[in-house]
Structure 1
Amino acid sequence: MPHSQTVLFICNHNAGRSQLGAHLLAHLGDERLVATSAGLNPAETINPSVAASLQELGIDTSSAKPRGVTVQDLDAADVVVLMKPGLPLPGPVRGELVEWSFPDPTTWQPDHVRELRDAVDAKVHTLAARLAGTGTGD
């Protein structure tokens, strides 16, 4: 079995966009991909609207807790996905750097988060396929 690849999703608060990315990648169930997330200025809890949108897909976020990104995270990740381009990281990225541009859902209601969730899900599927060698994309 090929070695697993760690994909680290990063956003500002690790409460919305990066949680979406990590949970959606983990939901794919590909044992070769390990999903994790972190933020620059972590919030106290995951965004309730984001959690609700993931729950609609049967994804449990009850144990999700925002955390800060570390130099060790950046060094351990095979792929670092910035959910907002140009985020100031605490150190260099050892692996591949991917930059996506998604709006901050901090104040959004669940009905509005669904569209964001689905857009992130599409990017996650493309990334997973590329990393598995079955497709192209970012």
Structure 2
Amino acid sequence: MSAAPVPAPALPDERLAAGAARLATRHAGRFAAETVQRLLADSYRRLAATAQVTTHLVVLAERFTAERLDALAHDRGAPGAGLPRVLFVCSHNAGRSQLAAALLRHRAAGRVAVSSAGTHPGPGVAPHITQVLIEAGADPAGAFPKPLTDEVVRAADIVITMGCGDACPVVSGRRYLDWPVDDPEGAPPAVVRRIRDDIDRRITDLLAGLPGT
């Protein structure tokens, strides 16, 4: 007699059901609906643990889950398949890693899959980070701090820490870099712009070494 299927957990917010359905449809044939629901519930709880404002938490949880599902799908695929994937990591995912992710996304123009995460994510992206990105022509819209998860690390071809001493899970076959970048927290605008430009120069070198970019 076969075992009964394990039911999916109750979602912590009833509004998440629509998001779970959308994600399950997008990944039909890859992941069971119950798997999507479990990951969405976990994403919501992780974000809620550090959120100071919960107005958009349902939307952010769906975005975070979409990124995690894409990473899982990539990790299950053929090694080296698809776009090169770069993950930026810093403590709060509110400053340096957000600058680097937005700048690389802007410069690569769809030729690189870019993610960022924090070992201790903060409540939101710092306003001065958003401002200097807009000045550089990069789009900071939709950026929010996310916790570091195993599937995102496993999907990355390159994992870059931002000089803040953060430890990442080590997965064989990935390239690990550390960029010793100054912390923009509390810095005056001129210093934040200098940090942005330092990161941008490093991205120029990174892009020169990536296949297909």
Match of 1:27 in 2: 106
Match of 1:92 in 2: 170
Displacement after TM superposition at 1:109 (Å): 2.9
User: How far does residue 22 in structure 1 lie from its aligned partner after superposition?
Assistant: 0.6
Q: Does the alignment pair 1:61 with 2:119?
A: no
Higher strand share: 1
2:64 alignment partner in structure 1: none
User: What CA distance in whole angstroms lies between the structure 2 residues aligned with 1:29 and 1:98?
Assistant: 19
How far apart are the structure 2 equivalents of 1:14 and 1:77? 17
- What is residue 75 of structure 1 aligned with on the other side? 154
**Contact 1:49–1:108 (8 Å) recurs in 2:** no
1:30-49 matches, within 5 Å, as: 30-49=109-128
Deviations 1:7-33 (A, max 9, x none): 000011001110111111000134331
Decide which structure has the larger Cα Rg and report it: 2
Matched to 1:46, the amino acid is V
Contact 1:52–1:110 (Cα < 8 Å) also in 2: no
Instruction: Return the offset for 1:79.
Output: 0.4
Q: How far has the Cα of 1:61 moved from its partner?
A: 1.3
- 1:107 is matched with 186
What letter matches 1:96 in structure 2?
R
How many pairs does the alignment contain?
132
TM-score by length of 1: 0.87
Give the C-alpha shift of residue 85 in structure 1.
Answer: 5.8
What percentage of aligned pairs have identical amino acids?
Answer: 38
For the pair 1:9 / 2:88, whether they are aligned, the reply is: yes
Once the two structures are overlaid, the 10-residue window that deviates more, 28-37 or 53-62, is 28-37
Which structure is higher in RCO with an 8 Å CA cutoff and minimum separation 6? 1
RMSD value, Cα:
1.8
- Any unmatched runs of 5+ in structure 1? none
* 2:163–2:178 contact (8 Å) kept in structure 1: yes
Q: 1:85-117 deviations in whole A, cap 9, x for unaligned? A: 64122x223411011101111112322200000
Specify the SS of the correspondent of 2:108: coil
